[in-house]
Structure 1
Amino acid sequence: MRKLSYGMNVTVDGYISAHGPGHLSPSGDIGWSVPSDELFQWWLEREQANSLSLYGRKLWETMSSYWPTGDEQLNATAAQVEFARNWRSTPKVVFSSTIEKVDWNTRVVNGDAVAEITRLKAEDGGPMAIGGATLAGTALQAGLIDEYLLVTHPVLVGGGTPFFVALDNWVNLELVEKTAFPDGVLLTRYEKRR
């Protein structure tokens, strides 16, 4: 059975993206989450360890707007070049009812996300990562996530898109890793207790 991880950059008050200044603009501001070189390298190594990436529509649109040519960008670091190459080559599944055409080693699922993620977890293969608050929330509520990675940045934004959704039942976790990065960023990795 494959392991499913959910990890993102998050604010101290629990958001993965913030409302704009004065809360007048919609969610989507992630300017607070620019990674240090050390943190970017850590994310790269996590991505290289995954055999399959699962995306919700919004995160897919964000990632696919930059990483297909991220290695061609002026001033791209060696890690960014490697991230772009890894992103293109890693198999991806996008869960969306509105996206019809994808590229870069990707397929679209527009049916039951829980059924498809359950099927993928039951297959032989390496670890999978899930991203996007809505999709991850669906998988969390269905009890499909095995590991949570919170990369907490020292900022309070007051509102936006939360990392976690409301749950019907508690999920007991065990802390398995804690790592400090520059600029006060802290990684905490938890596994679901069996």
Structure 2
Amino acid sequence: MSKVISAHAVSVDGYITCRGPGAGRGLGHGTMLFDWYFDGDTPSQVFDGFRLSAPSARVFDALAGRVGAVVAGRNTYEDSDHFGGGSPHPTARLFVLSHRPAAEITERQALVTSGIEDAVAAAREAAGDKDVGLMGGGVVTEALKAGLVDEMVLHQVPVLLGGGRPFFQALPGHVRLRLVDAVPAPGVTHLHYKVER
């Protein structure tokens, strides 16, 4: 069975966007959370235009190569200008989780309004034997609450943003993680955790 994974760039103080994210403004003012996508000399084998450091490319491409479908929250979808009608991943289908209608959904995207369990189930079916990637703090929080997340990767960037969108929202209790890998790289440390149940 495919796994459900979350991989997010995150500041040391826990933000996944810079200040002022929103439609037309992307993920906020400044790009320091994402500089490591472009500050190396190793091209990604999955994402055109990404040039990472060698250690980051190994981690990033291994994760991206596993993803067959993506579930994103409505805020992430809006902040990212609807992903241009496509997906944040070059080959994975996008499922947008929202409680509101979205007339701008294209044939390469699907809107799920009935909750995280249904969104993950639809994404699993589309992913086949590949994994489901989660995007957005709200989606990850809801998936954690529902016990659906298998692995989490924090691409931790050594910056304190002091504002933006926090990664995690309120959880009903604690979630135990087990560190399985830590890869230091220029401008980022890749922390790979398994969610313990």
Match of 1:56 among 60, 64, 73: 73
Q: Give CA deviations for 1:122-174 in whole Å, capped at 9, x if unaligned.
A: 89632110001112211112221111110011110112211122222221111
Q: Indicate the larger mover: 117-126 or 6-15.
A: 117-126
Identity percentage of aligned residues: 26
Structure 1 residues 10-159: aligned runs within 5 Å:
10-19=10-19, 28-29=28-29, 31-33=31-33, 34-35=35-36, 36=39, 37-38=52-53, 39=56, 42-61=59-78, 62=80, 64-65=82-83, 87-96=89-98, 97-103=100-106, 105-118=108-121, 120-121=123-124, 125-159=129-163
Contact 2:73 2:135 in 1 (8 A): yes
Q: CA RMSD in A?
A: 2.9
The TM-score normalised by the length of structure 2 is 0.73
Match of 1:77 in 2: none
1:165 paired residue number: 169
Contact in 2 for aligned 1:95/1:108 (Cα 8 Å): yes
> What's 2:43 paired with?
none
| Secondary structure of 1:93 counterpart | strand
1:109–1:67 Cα change, 3 Å: closer
Change (3 A) 1:100 1:67: closer
Say which SS state the counterpart of residue 65 (structure 2) adopts. helix
- The residue type equivalent to 2:6 in the other structure is Y
- Paired residue type of 1:90: A
Q: How many matched pairs?
A: 172
Q: TM-score, normalised by structure 1?
A: 0.74
Letter in 2 for 1:13: D
Structure with the bigger percentage of helix: 1
- Matched to 2:2, the amino acid is R
Distance (whole Å) between structure 2 residues aligned to residue 188 and residue 127 of structure 1: 18
- DSSP 3-state at the match of 1:162: coil
Q: Which amino acid aligns with 2:112?
A: V
Shift of 1:187: 0.6
Q: 5+ residue gaps in structure 2? A: 21-26, 40-51
State the shift of 1:5 in Å: 0.5
